Structure 1
Amino acid sequence: MLTRTFLHFPQVGERRERALWRFGFCDWHAIVRSVAPSPWRHLWDEWQREAEASLEAYEVGNAAYFAMRLPKSAWWRAIPDFVHRAVFLDVETDGTHRITVLGIADSEGYRAFVRGQDNFDEARERLESAKMLVTYGGSHFDLPVLRANFPDWQLPPLHLDLCPLLRRLGLRGGLKAVERQVGLSRSPQTDGLNGWDAVHLWWRYVDGGDERALQTLLCYNREDVMPLPTLLALAYERLWAQTLKASQQTFLPMMGSKERRTG
């Protein structure tokens, strides 16, 4: 999908992008090798330069290039190209901005980092080597908390917040509510728990040495993180379908297709 995106080209919005697709310009290569059609002759030189630059950035897996140029509303189009370098993240706090548990999942699996027990340097390395960060509601909670606790960390250039993405598809509410809407369920140990319960579990562990409370908190965090890949795939497939319907085209790739991944 990314190589078929023109929204970062000069003077291209969604309507003009769809017009390009209808004219048969289905990717950046088509722009580079084609003679300018009359409707866009005055823009073609700029578009060819951008197409060449985009291809170069794509070949080396430069996610930052597209993060800087694409509107955030279109970042989902980069999912198939960078999902293999994604980190899925959720943080728990003590009721303030102080992190108690940082849970991340990537190609190495899931790992929870607990304040006072674990060295957060590994979490930093895994985040800073990623090209895409995936959260649920992270724009308003997880990322501000991360930056407050670790201001020197360099976060991945692309951030996919699933909350607004799924809202565009009619899936509204918190993470647990959305999980129920798409048929996902939680373990009996954590079913019904919320963010404030996570705060109370932490203080039961800190103040009373309740190891069972800590284990429940870690299970809760894991179950906040592990549905994110499924929800990301669902968001991509449904947004793809919306784009396909709007464009009346058939060339757009499904997630997991053989289109080459970057980087």
Structure 2
Amino acid sequence: MTGATGYVGSAVVRELRVRGHEPVPSCQRLSEPFELRDVDAVIHLAAAARVRESFHDPLSYWETNVGGTLNLLKGLQGQRFLLASTGTVYRPSEAPLTEESAREPSSPYSASKAAAEDVVAWTARSGRIGATTLRLFNVAGGGDKDTTRVITRAVACAAGTAPGMEVYGDGTAVRDFVHVRDVAAAFVVALEACEVGTSSVYNVGCTPASVRDVLDSVASVTGRAVDVSWKPAVPGEARSLRADASRLRALGWEPRSSALDEIVTDQWLALAPAPGPGPSR
């Protein structure tokens, strides 16, 4: 398992153990070919994953996200392979996105993930592996420390650990959020359904919400307003990215912690802010 000590990876490791699996974290560099012995599946979570950074250094994103995936696949024969991808591979749409929706990556990051998806799918089609790609939308909660993510940033601002946040546009752009624990459960459900010689794709998302919805939720849960600097909208920014996760739900996945207020509350409690105004009810 790559990325086992990361934000999502740590949650996946815990969920695998609860479900009776034995995760084996990889300490090997993605830039080197892997020797994978005595494992029946690989969960590939490690990646370069900052959208804005990818515009400045696209080659390293392709080297890590595509090259690293290739190095893993070269060491496989007869195992199952799960790839963490992203909902940003899709062409934006006002309608919920299904797994058959058109892909149209809008950054080097999402383009590298789309390319990795293709390599994995073609390898499965050859009969060499079984493959599952999970397209994660906006993962949140669980003590996330990445303040480039909107819920994490807003809660950090309320807690006083970040000075404020910038919002581009009018705050009505909608994204799909899902708790990291529910993401971990999705990986286990998908792993148990994966078979050698097959290739599947699943959306992992749950709760559509706008930036303004997030700000309102943070204020309601914490009793503290978020200091926001409003900026002009970014040209070409998607107005809506919502996931249709019915295919994953059909496997038995049922998100349990992904209501917006639940995610915000969980993140707030994980930060253990200094004493002050508590949640308003």
Aligning the two structures, in what range does the TM-score lie when normalised by the shorter sequence? Answer: under 0.3
TM-score norm. by structure 1 comes to 0.25
Larger Cα-atom Rg: 1
Higher strand share: 2
Higher helix share: 1
